[in-house]
């Protein structure tokens, strides 16, 4: 029995299409494009009708510039039928479609964040790009308040935007289909965010497995859960080695969606909390390690999205879950583990634990003979040193790595292709085992981790590894459609890659 059942709250606002501003709409959202001659109303302003010039004059009078994500709210002209108009800046609109789509997603997200306390808002940005507006608004309105008591619960004027109306000139089956897709993807990102934002006191391996199983079963997917006894008996030395320092023992979850001939394996790091183990981390900011299961959250959510979208591709998520704690039973630096499949690894640093549980899961995933394998993890601080906190590093087999990175950039998650230099491989040699889990230097740490994982990928499998150490968790202020805490990266990348494989093989 799950000790803390998944929340039944709404994951985001209700989304609906309309061809005119309804009488229940409280706020009309319009886009402002910036330019050297001042802001101009973007496509969709026709829903203002004869009030367009008056609204634009009022916005200019109060200092609206059309700067990207700038929001300004003014009273609506009498007769427009809404109480107020919210203008959101788009900046100078890009000509390239992917860049423009991301501008619109960010603007819609900023508008949704600015509309806390609003019941119904109608967005005219949907005339620029329906899918991007719907997804940006959905994600921008996300809120996580499960652990707030009545003392700090949101006041009515702080509640997230409840309903988003997407205004379109003409309703169509295609518009409904695009809206449905945006909602599924938005819900899946929100599922991943919820997992990441749930504190480790309430999300430990057994509970994480129970919640994943419940979500997958609700989506009609088959689920297998291995407990610590089964993991030990079956030789999952990496998962057991990392998890044995905790009183809350490991799990491994397998979720399968059977949708088509092409087979894709997904693997995600599920460290529900990472102290570093015996190689303990500094105390400062350790609380952010509640996010160390962001990769696991993403692959669970992506598999559910594939099922809900009915993609003609088969997907199996293999998700190792453990808590990395120091104790009398924890693994020590210098220990040797036997990974699933037989490879031995000398553990030089117990804080390089993610690669140990991923290695077990990758070998198991490759036993299914997938055509493609994507693994993702909050794996290395070196990712942030190299690429910052918003740009995932993508490694793997050259062709698939570049394909994943290109798709990631097209959806606004901005994955960047990185090499796996052969000269770094020898630095993973161990004096007593097949491999060491870290090198003896600090150079190219993200790449060395990728090279370690490469050792466990089956021959002939097209593979991509996505390091999301920074991008999975926003410790700064909100921006665009991203709030503080879990971001849901790289759910949108993975779903888009699955769609691309389904369409193109």
pLDDT reported for residue 151: 82
pLDDT score for 5: 47
The rounded distance, in Å, linking the Cα atoms of 378 and 374 is: 14
Give a yes or no: residue 4 inside a domain. no
Domain assignment present for 435: yes
Tell me, yes or no, whether 440 and 478 share the same domain. Answer: yes
| Total Cβ atoms within 10 A of residue 342 | 10
Res 1: pLDDT: 36
For residues 164 and 255, state if they share a domain: no
> Could you tell me which of 170, 90, 174, 177 has the C-alpha nearest to residue 136?
90
As a whole number, mean pLDDT of residues 267-288 equals 97
Q: Which helix (H) or strand (E) holds 385?
A: helix 381-387
Q: Does 181 map to a domain?
A: no
Is residue 84 exposed (0-12), middle (13-18) or buried (19+ Cβ within 10 Å)?
A: middle
In a domain, 375, yes or no: yes
- For residues 217, 218, 221 and 223, what is the CA-based torsion angle, rounded to 10 degrees? -20
**DSSP symbols for 26-61:** -EEEEEEE--TT--EEPTTGGGGGGGHHHHHHHHHH
Domain that holds residue 342: 187-504
- CB-CB contact of 125 with 108 (8 Å): yes
Final residue belonging to a domain, choices 140, 169, 198: 169
pLDDT score of 158:
85
pLDDT category at 262 given cuts 50, 70, 90 is very high
CA distance 225 to 206: 9
Domain boundary among 121, 142, 169: 169
Q: Is 265 helix (H, G, I), strand (E, B) or coil?
A: strand
| 413 within some domain | yes
352 and 291 within one domain: yes
The tally of CA atoms less than 13 A away on the side-chain side of residue 137 is: 34
Average pLDDT (310-334) is: 98
Integer CA distances (angstroms), 475 to 53, 189, 198, 482, in order: 41, 18, 15, 11
Is pLDDT at 2 greater than 50 in this prediction?
A: no
Do 125 and 206 lie in one domain? The reply is: no
What is the chain's mean pLDDT, rounded?
A: 96
What CATH number is attached to the domain comprising 233? 3.40.630.10
Residues 194, 60 share a domain: no
By DSSP bridging, strand 71-75 and strand 40-41 are unpaired
- Strand ranges for 206-299 from DSSP E: 222-226, 251-257, 263-268, 270-274
- Establish whether 248 is a catalytic residue: no
Spell out the residues 6+ positions from residue 503 whose beta carbon is closer than 8 angstroms to its own. Answer: none
Using DSSP, state whether 186 is helix, strand or coil. helix
DSSP 479: B
Same domain, yes or no: 340 and 447: yes
pLDDT digit string (tens) for 452-461? Answer: 999 999 999 9
Asked if the structure places residue 398 within a domain, the reply is: yes
In this structure, are 219 and 294 located in the same domain?
yes
Catalytic option among 193, 355, 364, 401:
355
CA-nearest of 335, 331, 28, 11 to 166 is: 28
Would you say residue 1 lies in a domain?
Answer: no
Strand segments (E) across 237-313: 251-257, 263-268, 270-274
Which residues does 194 contact at the CB level (< 8 Å), separation at least 6?
6, 7, 11, 144, 146, 486
The answer to whether residues 314 and 342 belong to one domain is: yes
Quote the number of domains for the chain: 2
CA 215 – CA 217 distance, rounded (Å): 6
pLDDT at position 8 over 90: no
Same domain, 160 and 232: no
User: Residues 157-192: pLDDT tens digits?
Assistant: 889 999 999 999 999 999 999 999 999 999 999 999
Q: Please tell me the distance from the alpha carbon of residue 125 to that of residue 93, in angstroms, as a whole number.
A: 12
pTM: 0.96
E strand intervals along 34-160: 40-41, 71-75, 84-91, 120-123
CA gap 448, 408 in Å, rounded: 22
CB 255 within 8 Å of CB 317? yes
pLDDT at 10: 73
pLDDT digits (tens, 9 = 90+) for 354-406: 999 999 999 999 999 999 999 999 999 999 999 999 999 999 999 999 999 99
**Active-site residue (options: 281, 390, 406, 484):** 281
Residue that terminates a domain, selected from 137, 169, 201: 169
Distance of CA 101 to the CA centre of its chain: 18
- Mean pLDDT over 28-38 rounds to 92
Please report whether residue 174 resides in a domain.
no
151 is catalytic: no
d(Cα 237, Cα 338) in Å, to the nearest integer? 5
DSSP single-letter state for residue 200: T
Residues 155 and 231 occupy one common structural domain: no
DSSP state of 460: T
Q: Residue 160 sits in a domain of what CATH number? A: 3.40.220.10
| Shared domain check, 249 and 127 | no
On whether both 138 and 230 belong to a single domain, the answer is no
């Amino acid at each position: 029995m799950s000790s803390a059942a998944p929340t039944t709250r709404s994951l985001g606002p209700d989304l609906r299409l309309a061809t005119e501003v309804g009488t229940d709409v409280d706020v009309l959202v319009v886009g402002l494009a910036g330019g050297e001659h001042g802001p101009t109303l973007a496509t969709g302003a026709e829903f203002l009708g004869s009030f367009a010039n008056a609204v634009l004059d009022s916005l200019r009078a109060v200092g609206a510039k059309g700067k990207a994500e700038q929001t300004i709210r003014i009273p609506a002209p009498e007769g427009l039928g809404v109480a107020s108009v919210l203008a959101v800046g788009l900046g100078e609109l890009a000509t390239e479609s992917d860049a423009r789509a991301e501008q619109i997603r960010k603007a819609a997200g900023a508008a949704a964040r600015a509309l806390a306390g609003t019941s119904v808002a109608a967005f005219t940005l949907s005339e620029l790009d329906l899918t991007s507006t719907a997804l940006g608004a959905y994600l921008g309105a996300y809120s996580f308040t499960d652990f707030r008591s009545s003392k700090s619960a949101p006041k009515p004027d702080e509640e997230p935007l409840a309903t988003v109306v997407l205004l379109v000139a003409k309703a169509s089956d295609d518009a409904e289909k695009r809206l449905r897709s945006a909602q599924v993807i938005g819900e899946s990102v929100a599922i991943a965010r919820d997992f990441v934002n749930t504190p480790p006191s309430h999300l430990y391996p057994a509970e994480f497995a129970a919640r994943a199983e419940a979500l997958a079963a609700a989506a009609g997917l088959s689920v297998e859960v291995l407990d610590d006894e089964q993991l030990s008996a079956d030789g999952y030395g990496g998962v057991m080695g990392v998890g044995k320092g905790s009183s809350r023992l490991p799990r491994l979850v397998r979720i399968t969606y059977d949708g088509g001939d092409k087979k894709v394996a997904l693997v995600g790091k599920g460290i529900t909390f990472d102290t570093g183990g015996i190689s303990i981390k500094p105390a400062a900011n350790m609380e952010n390690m509640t996010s160390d299961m962001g990769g696991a959250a993403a692959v669970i959510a992506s598999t559910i999205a594939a099922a809900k979208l009915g993609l003609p591709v088969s997907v199996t998520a293999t998700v190792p879950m453990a808590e990395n704690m120091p104790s009398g039973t924890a693994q020590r630096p210098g220990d040797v583990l036997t990974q699933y499949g037989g490879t031995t690894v000398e553990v030089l640093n117990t804080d390089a634990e993610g690669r140990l549980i991923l290695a077990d899961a990758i070998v198991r995933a490759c036993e299914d003979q997938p055509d493609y394998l994507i693994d993702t993890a909050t794996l290395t601080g070196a990712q942030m040193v190299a690429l910052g906190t918003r740009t995932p590093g993508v490694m793997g087999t050259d062709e698939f790595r570049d394909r994943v990175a290109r798709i990631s950039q097209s959806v606004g998650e901005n994955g960047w292709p990185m090499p796996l230099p052969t000269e770094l491989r020898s630095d993973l040699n161990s004096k007593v085992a097949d491999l060491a889990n870290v090198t003896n230097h600090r150079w190219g740490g993200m790449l060395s981790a990728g090279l370690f994982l490469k050792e466990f990928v089956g021959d002939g499998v097209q593979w991509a590894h996505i390091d999301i150490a920074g991008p999975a968790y926003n410790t700064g202020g909100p921006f665009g459609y991203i709030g503080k805490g879990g971001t849901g990266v790289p759910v949108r990348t993975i779903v888009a890659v699955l769609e691309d494989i389904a369409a193109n093989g």
